[in-house]
A = this chain, B = another copy of it.
Amino acid sequence: MKDIQNSPALVPMPIDRVGVKGLTLPIVVSDKENGSQHSVAEVDLTVDLPAHWRGSHMSRFVEALENWQEELSYQSMKKLLKDVKTRLDAKVAHIEFRFIYFLQKVSPATRAENLMGYNCRLLGEMDAGDKPKFLLEIKVPVMTVCPCSKAISDEGAHSQRADLRIAVRMCKFVWLEEFIEIAESAGSSPVYPLLKREDEKFVTEAAFAKPAFVEDVVRNVGHALLNHPGVSWFRVEVESHESIHAHNAYACIEYDKEAEGHV
């Protein structure tokens, strides 16, 4: 049977990334509290393709993922990256997992417990030297109370849900839980899945005692990550679903500690 993919390229130009997007599979993720947890992931896998080959063998990506079947961790992702490189005979491999990570949250007054899900992206890259690089991104919803609205109004202040996205490259292992903690202390208040009336009173008062612009939130996280010894690069984004507008407020800080000589 002909192998068209192995025939010479019609236009001999190297391709940066070629592969598959949007595979879904159940996964087990390493978890600080309980050892591991079940989730579902959407996965993209790509490699580079040199100028002379016409096509990549797409089914090999799916086989690599099928054959992998490990708990998601930096170690297991390293294995998968290496396996994809080998199967595809490639110099560089990129893999992205998108999944929800669940944490038990405790309400601040009545100590009621409930799970909350955080959208995560884990990107791994392995180059010619087989050295893996990782980028972890977590979306953490927080509450923001507007400092301006509070200062100028006789009563109240507008508040809203804001999506805080933290993307990091690490120079040593850091639990995902640590970044969620940094995020949740950076706004006016964390958000919770379950709040009884006593909790709602607590959250409202705590949030009003700590009003924060998107600028404040992004700097609070930036400051914490700048001083975090495990983080070598970060990007923090806040998008606040302003309750007085139909549009959003946005702020972003990106910082490369290595490039800036900040270590």
Residues on A close to B: CB < 8 A? 1-5, 9-11, 13-26, 37-40, 44, 46, 49, 54-56, 58-59, 62-63, 66, 100, 102, 112-117, 141, 143-149, 151-161, 189, 191-198, 200-201, 203-205, 207-209, 213-216, 218-220, 222-223, 226, 239, 241-254
Contacts and interface: CB of A to CB of B under 8 A. Distances in A.
B23 A243 contact: no
19 contacts: A4-B148, A11-B216, A15-B252, A18-B251, A21-B249, A54-B215, A59-B196, A153-B200, A153-B201, A156-B204, A156-B208, A158-B204, A159-B159, A161-B246, A191-B244, A191-B245, A193-B245, A193-B247, A200-B244
CB-based closest 3 A-B pairs: A156-B208, A24-B117, A38-B38
B40 A247 contact: no
A5 B141 CA distance: 23
A247 B1 contact: no
A228 to B, nearest CB: 14
Contacts of A149: 200-201, 204
A156 B145 contact: yes
A1 B62 contact: no
A57 to B, nearest CB: 9
A214 B17 CA distance: 11
A200 B157 CA distance: 9
Contacts of A193: 23, 62, 245-247
A245 B26 contact: no
A249 B161 CA distance: 13
A170 B52 CA distance: 28
A205 B4 contact: no
Contacts of A160: 159-161, 241, 243
Contact of A192 (B11, B207, B245): B245
A55 B203 contact: no
A19 to B, nearest CB: 6
Contacts of A37: 26
Contacts of A23: 193, 247
A9 B218 CA distance: 12
A20 B250 contact: yes
Nearest to A27: B38
